[in-house]
Amino acid sequence: MKRIEGGVTAPKGFTATGIAAGIKKSGKDMAMLYSPAACRVAGTFTTNLVKAAPVKWDQCIVKGLPLEAGLAAVAGAAASGKAYNGAASEKAYDGAAAGGMNGSPDRTAHVVVVNSGVANACTGAEGFGYCRDTAATAAELFGIRENQVLVASTGVIGQQIPIDKICAGIETMKPLLSESTASGTLAAEAIMTTDTVKKEIAVEEEIGGKTVTIGGMCKGSGMIHPNMCTMLSFITTDASISQELLQKALSASVPDTYNMVSVDGDTSTNDTCLVLANGLAGNPEITEEGEDYQLFFEALNEVNTCLAKRMAADGEGATALFEVKIIGAESKEQAVTISKSVVTSSLVKAAIYGHDANWGRILCAMGYSGASFDPEAVDLYFESAAGKIKIIENGVSTGYSEEEATRILSESAVTAIADIKMGSAEATAWGCDLTYDYVKINADYRS
């Protein structure tokens, strides 16, 4: 596997662009991805009960359902006035899928339209209608079907999107689409909200004698505590792979990558991760879990890991990437539970901001995680580019040098490693420090 320059336009046959469509007060706010070749598509979405309209729209496309299923999911609940039954709604999807659409060759996409001004969440049937209007506009322009247009939004919750600006933006973007690296970067910039840096990556892997490329871009950087997926992440690849294995690879990668990130413990209504594969690399189609699948999975996982870490490092107001590694665990699940508890603790995050080796807060957050372990057996280390230091051994202080610890914690990426000495499972979670600027950004967000 090799890192290469670029992002979503790195794989063959993908074009992109980003513009200022006037949805935000200033700056770029719309992006578009387009592959003339039809793409297989896989996706993971927020587990929040409150799902934005574009999430419902894209779920229909990824699951091969009629778009009416998404509308029914919105209107049915509201009209009935009864308890929303998430399980029943999922079943409605399943029923439609069993009815013949699932696995259909029609289940492909060409276009992704993104706006970063308005989330289109909590907008009812009207909001879902705007997804359809967005897709219809793009479908007509590109001569494709509505259900080949994926839609994503991020921004303020509860406002209706300015659909005229969105449709005008699509027309503006079409002639600007290009395969250049710079165009991919424009798209990565246009999906940013409170992000301070664009996040894109591309890797190459030799699969079946052909060079397969995977590119990606994502955005954070608040309301980030992905549960099944991240805020918005778009991955492109020219790999030839069946839809089933594409979804399988994505679903296998997400729990260890995006789902291990937390900026503020808030699981967004809009979390969406989409992978588009147009098959132009010419590798023999990956249809089973052999060596080719493994190579593809590892490349995809590398892209997701990298994007997830960059999202954590660019958390709202953050000055440092904070990595928490639990080792010596009895099970992966136990290590995940403990590492996420530490990485989401406001007190730990504030201590990291202060470069303060306040390890008691780390042990405290491990203790209330809900996982069982022996606090009196824990060893804890801090590590960064400036070195590594053992802070506690068997639950009590080693008498380490505070000066040395502060030096290590003053880097822009710091890691806490806790060995709980119960087994050989481990997990790593990523977050960031808690700063004045997080508060400033979020107290003033809408004004």
* Nearest CA among 369, 418, 353 for reference residue 391: 418
Sequence-ordered list of residues with C-beta below 8 angstroms from that of 100, at least 6 positions apart, any chain: none
Q: How far is the CB of 151 from a copy of itself (least distance, A)?
A: 18
**Binding to a copy of itself, residues 191-230 (CB under 8 A):** 222-223, 225, 227
Of the listed 123, 154, 230, 272, which one is catalytic? 230
Using the minimum distance from each CB to a copy of itself, give the nearer residue, 185 or 334.
334
Q: How far is the CB of 129 from a copy of itself (least distance, A)?
A: 13
Active site residue 46: no
136 binds a copy of itself per the rule CB under 8 A: no
In sequence order, the 6+-apart residues with CB closer than 8 A to the CB of 48 are 227, 267, 268, 269, 271
Whole-number Å distance between alpha carbons of 321 and 312:
6
Residues 39-78 that bind a copy of itself (CB under 8 A): 47-51, 74, 77-78
Closer to a copy of itself at the Cβ: 282 or 354? 354
Smaller CB separation from a copy of itself, 52 or 218: 52
Q: Is residue 341 within 8 Å of 421, Cβ to Cβ?
A: no
35 lies in the binding site for a copy of itself (CB under 8 A)? no
CA angle 39/42/43 to nearest 5° reads 135
Residue numbers 152-171 binding a copy of itself by CB under 8 A: 156-159
Q: Which of 327, 365, 408, 414 binds a copy of itself (CB under 8 A)?
A: 365
99 binds a copy of itself (CB under 8 A): no
Gyration radius of the chain over CA positions:
22
DSSP class of 284: P
CB of 168 to a copy of itself, least distance (A): 24
Determine if 129 is a binding residue for a copy of itself (CB under 8 A).
no
- The arrangement of strands across the sheet holding 396-397 comes to 396-397, 387-393, 379-384, 413-419, 321-329, 425-432
Q: Map the footprint of a copy of itself across residues 291-330, applying CB under 8 A.
A: 330
Based on the shown chain and the rule CB under 8 A, indicate whether residue 268 belongs to the binding site for a copy of itself: yes
Q: In 208-248, where do the E strands start and end?
A: 210-219, 232-237
Count the residues in the chain.
Answer: 447
Stretch that binds a copy of itself, among 289-297, 306-314, 392-400, 410-418 (CB under 8 A): 392-400
List all residues 6 or more positions away from 128 whose beta carbon is below 8 Å from its beta carbon: 53, 56, 57, 70, 71, 74
CB closer to a copy of itself out of 174 and 355:
355
- Please identify, using beta-carbon distances, which residue of 173 and 366 lies nearer to a copy of itself: 366
Distances (CA, A) of 433 to 153, 222, 254, 267, 419: 26, 13, 23, 18, 22
Q: Can residue 387 be called a binding residue for a copy of itself (CB under 8 A)?
A: no
In a 13 Å sphere around the CA of 1, the CA atoms on its Cβ side amount to 17
- Minimum CB separation from a copy of itself for residue 441, in Å? 8
Site for a copy of itself in 404-423 (CB under 8 A): 421-422
Asked whether position 91 contacts a copy of itself by CB under 8 A, the answer is: no
Active site residues: 230
